[in-house]
Amino acid sequence: MLGGIRVGKLVGIPFFINPSWFLVFGLVTYSLASGQLPLAVPGRQEWVYWLLGALTALLFFGSLVAHEVGHSVVSKAYGIPVRSITLHLFGGVAQLGREVRRAREEFWIALAGPAVSLALGALFWGGRHLLRDAAPTLGTGLEIVAVLNVGVVIFNMVPGFPLDGGRVLRAVVWGISGNYRKSTRVAATGGRLIGLLFIVAGLYLALAQNDLSSLWLALVGWFLINIARQSYAQAVVQDTLQKTPVSQVMVKLLTVPSHLTLDELFAGYISTTGWQYYLVEKDGQPVGLLTTLALARVPRPLWPVTPLLAAMSPLESVPQVSIASSAVDALYRIEESHAEMLLVVDNGSAAGVVTRDRLFNLSMRATAA
């Protein structure tokens, strides 16, 4: 659901519109222009309803973006990077660069979005009263946006993950129990139950009341159930990585002298030990990192004349992580640096490497457990 057309930046955060948004924008505009607005302000020309419907829809979706900006600003205040804000079929989403690490972070980040929506609801309601006599048609549009913003607050504060209310619930349970995984399980269970209620209600209204538009409610329920399930699986991975020190997933390095050629390294080390990661030393000092993958990039006939210094990665160019860090810290560092591996450092000395593949395998084992 993430990604789409990049349209710029908001408070320094890349902003995207998913193609699915255009469908829901058209549906909302049509619903307003053909139904709600003619009933609220009769007697206007048809183009007025369509123009006001589009403007009302834009204001509403702009409010959803502002909702996500609220989450994002508080996230950044806590030092949590925000990769993007995306407007999509079901509203908006801010993609954080990492998960929260404390219950109070979760609590205030979750409340920031509804607080913005509530403030916007009050702002548009005030605008409606100011324009009630001078421009009643526009005032009606503002009234609709105000009511929709309040509806967003009510819906989002339902205590089920991934809604904001579910995040508040997770923060409260997390703060009381100190258990991140348990708190996520509680909030995700709430999300699945609420999603199931939405599906049942949507199907009932569609079949018993012949209201096919209610199938949208069932679709939202299905979406909530799936996201709640994925969120708990992600929390299990997060918890496992957080509790696993880098030292348990790193691979130790074999030290080799820099005067060797690739052919000598292969004959004297790789073919006999099967080792893949080497620390290259020159004059007793580590200068680079060499992997068997680097050898594969050099044509085999050139191995006898290619020194390790020519094929290695200089040590200062390899992203690092402290051996005191957790596996989740290493994962975030790898994502930030777009690297395939990190050099694990212990008191300034190279202790090993941790690779993206090893972190991925640990995540898969956590999910399967």
**Tens digit of pLDDT for each residue in 87-136?**
887 677 888 877 888 999 999 999 999 999 999 999 999 988 887 777 77
Distances (CA, A) of 334 to 111, 252, 359: 30, 18, 10
State how far the Cα of 5 lies from the Cα of 9, in Å rounded to an integer: 12
Looking at the predicted structure, is the pLDDT value of residue 369 above 70? Answer: no
Pairing of strands 5-10, 349-355: unpaired
Residue 153 makes CB contacts below 8 A (sequence gap 6+) with: 114, 117, 118, 121
Looking at the predicted structure, is the pLDDT value of residue 224 above 80? Answer: yes
Token duo for residue 188: 């995700």
253-271 mean pLDDT: 93
Let me know: does 32 contact 53? Beta carbons within 8 Å. Answer: yes
Let me know: does 37 contact 102? Beta carbons within 8 Å. Answer: no
Q: What is the pLDDT of residue 227?
A: 86
Q: What is the pLDDT of residue 3?
A: 59
pTM of the model: 0.77
Q: What is the pLDDT of residue 352?
A: 92
- CATH superfamily for domain 246-368: CBS-domain (3.10.580.10)
| Residues recognised as catalytic | 68
Number of helices (H) and strands (E), helices first, in the chain?
Answer: 15, 11
Pairing of strands 313-314, 91-96: unpaired
State how far the Cα of 328 lies from the Cα of 350, in Å rounded to an integer: 20
Let me know: does 4 contact 18? Beta carbons within 8 Å. Answer: yes
Helix (H), strand (E) at residue 293:
helix 292-296
pLDDT bin (cut points 50, 70, 90) of residue 70 is very high
Q: What is the pLDDT of residue 138?
A: 84
Angle between helices 136-156 and 46-77 (to 10 degrees): 40
The 10s digit of each residue's pLDDT in 12-66 is 888 888 888 888 888 888 888 888 788 877 878 888 889 988 999 999 999 999 9
State how far the Cα of 102 lies from the Cα of 16, in Å rounded to an integer: 28
The values of phi and psi at residue 324, to 5°, are -80, -5
Angle between helices 356-368 and 215-243 (to 10 degrees): 120
State how far the Cα of 253 lies from the Cα of 355, in Å rounded to an integer: 13
The values of phi and psi at residue 12, to 5°, are 80, 5
151 closest CA partner among 87, 37, 64, 70 = 64
The 10s digit of each residue's pLDDT in 122-162 is 999 998 888 777 777 788 889 999 999 999 999 999 998 88
Looking at the predicted structure, is the pLDDT value of residue 321 above 90? Answer: yes
What amino acid occupies position 326? Answer: S
On average, the pLDDT of the chain sits at: 88
What amino acid occupies position 320? Answer: Q
49 closest CA partner among 140, 172, 133, 112 = 140
Q: Where are the domains of the chain?
A: 5-157, 246-368
250 exposure class (CB count in 10 Å sphere: 0-12, 13-18, 19+): buried
* Weakest mean pLDDT among 98-112, 167-181, 209-223, 308-322: 209-223
Per DSSP, the three-state class of 179 is: coil
Pairing of strands 320-322, 313-314: unpaired
Pairing of strands 13-17, 5-10: antiparallel
Q: What is the pLDDT of residue 1?
A: 45
Residue carrying structure tokens 């909530």:
224
What amino acid occupies position 132? Answer: R
Name which residue leads in pLDDT, 3 or 357.
357
Residues in the chain: 369
287 closest CA partner among 311, 305, 264, 267 = 311
